[in-house]
Structure 1
Amino acid sequence: MEAIITNKVAESGIVTLNLEEFYPKGEITTFDLKEYLFMGLILKEKDYRAALQTTDWSKYQDKYVAITCTADAIIPMWAYMLAANYLQPIAKDVSFGNEAQLVTNIITKNLASFDGEAYADKRVVVKGCGEIAIPETAYVEITAKLRPFAKSIMYGEPCSTVPIYKKTSGKLRF
């Protein structure tokens, strides 16, 4: 008699959601205002404007760009706005902060169009381990988007999950 192996995970109806799908697709880089400071301390408007006009903006073409200043200097708001003004027409996206903050912003933007209703009454596992580090914000966002619709939300892999939420008839269980 031959043993029959049953894949219980496949039969469970669990849907896996991989947050890596919302990660920015393309190169991520930084525009650092530090390079435009006079003596590494202050930003002179006239010099800054002139330097921006001669900057090779093509190196930011179709990239995700984080605008920041890594020097310990007081930077006026308009300086970031000027950089964004030059970058916006050529970059895929522009965000204030470091590269990690940019990734968080892009994932949040990408999740904004996520339709939780498509997961109505489904058992959903939000994939926990992957090739790319996903910011915590994404896990919070996806939970908020799924909770009104999903039958259950779990974290991890279909074969080993941590329960997050389960809808029950009448009252809620956590």
Structure 2
Amino acid sequence: MAKELPVEGGIKSNIITIDLLDYRPKAKSLFFDLKEGLFMEMILKEKEFRHFLSEINWEQFRDQAVAIGCSSEAIIPFWAYMSVADKLSGIASIINYSTPEALDEYVWKKNIEQTDFSFLQGEKVVVRQSIHVPPSLYIAITQQLKPFVTTLMYGEAGLPKVISKNKTRS
């Protein structure tokens, strides 16, 4: 489902500004650390690990993005990750093997990719610069906007850097 696009219209410049911070996930991803279920935070013992999983209130992860990982240097068998994913399935909104920061960026990118930008057909658009936006998201927004906009820019509406122009789009 396409999301509604947050934009700011330039008054005199006829340039539409898009701020990628508007697409940032509302809530931070949670981290499920397998280390908590390990013996001495180093060894996975199956019986104890399964008991550890059975004691968790999984509802705390309801509708949350959950990154699964292990913060210790233990060797974790893959079935342990599968067991956690099984418990989270149908509860968490997104489950991934990653850090919470990487999962937040993934969700952020999905928010951009799921937005319908077709209403920007033939427009001049500047993507606002921000040190808080990872480069991968500038790549994602470029791919999303290029089919529609006549001019794609980066920076601020007052002094943007032109990325591409296509006079045939209208």
Report TM bin, short chain: 0.7 to 0.9
Instruction: Tell me the equivalent position of 1:144.
Output: 143
- 2:164 alignment partner AA: Y
Q: 1:64, CA displacement in angstroms?
A: 2.3
Residues 22 and 78 (structure 1), Cα distance of their counterparts in 2 relative to 1, 3 Å cut: farther
Match of 1:106 in 2: 107
TM-score where L is the length of structure 2: 0.82
Tell me the amino acid that sits aligned with residue 23 of structure 2.
F
Query: Could you say which residue in structure 2 is the equivalent of 1:159?
Result: 158
Q: 1:17·1:125 contact (CA, 8 Å) conserved in 2?
A: yes
- 1:80 correspondence with 2:73: no
Mapped to 2, the partners of 1:51 and 1:162 lie a distance apart of 54
Residues 46-65 of structure 1 correspond to what in structure 2 (within 5 A)? 46-65=47-66
- Asked whether the 8 Å contact 1:125–1:161 carries over to 2, the reply is yes
Asked if structure 2 preserves the Cα contact closer than 8 Å seen for 1:66 and 1:102, the reply is yes
| Cα deviation 1:141-160 (Å, max 9, x = unaligned) | 11011112211111122113
Q: Distance in 2 between matches of 1:127 and 1:118?
A: 19
User: What TM-score results when the alignment is normalised by the length of structure 1?
Assistant: 0.81
Which whole-Å CA distance do the structure 2 matches of 1:99 and 1:27 have between them? 7
The answer (yes or no) to whether the contact 2:154–2:162 under 8 Å persists in 1 is yes
Instruction: Tell me which structure has the larger Cα radius of gyration.
Output: 1
The alignment covers a number of residue pairs equal to 159
Corresponding residue SS for 1:160: coil
1:18-97 equivalences under 5 Å are: 18-97=19-98
Task: Please tell me the residue identity of whatever aligns with 1:134.
Answer: V
Structure 1 residue ranges without an equivalent (≥5): 1-8, 170-174
Preserved CA contact (<8 Å) 2:29 2:101: no
CA RMSD of aligned residues (A): 2.0
Contact 2:31 2:99 in 1 (8 A): yes
Q: What is the one-letter code of the residue matched to 2:57?
A: D
Q: CA deviation at 1:66?
A: 1.3
**What CA distance in whole angstroms lies between the structure 2 residues aligned with 1:99 and 1:23?**
14
**In 1, distance between residues paired with 2:46 and 2:120?**
51
Identity fraction in percent: 37
In structure 2, distance between residues paired with 1:76 and 1:146 = 42
Whole-Å separation in 1 of the counterparts to 2:166 and 2:49: 56
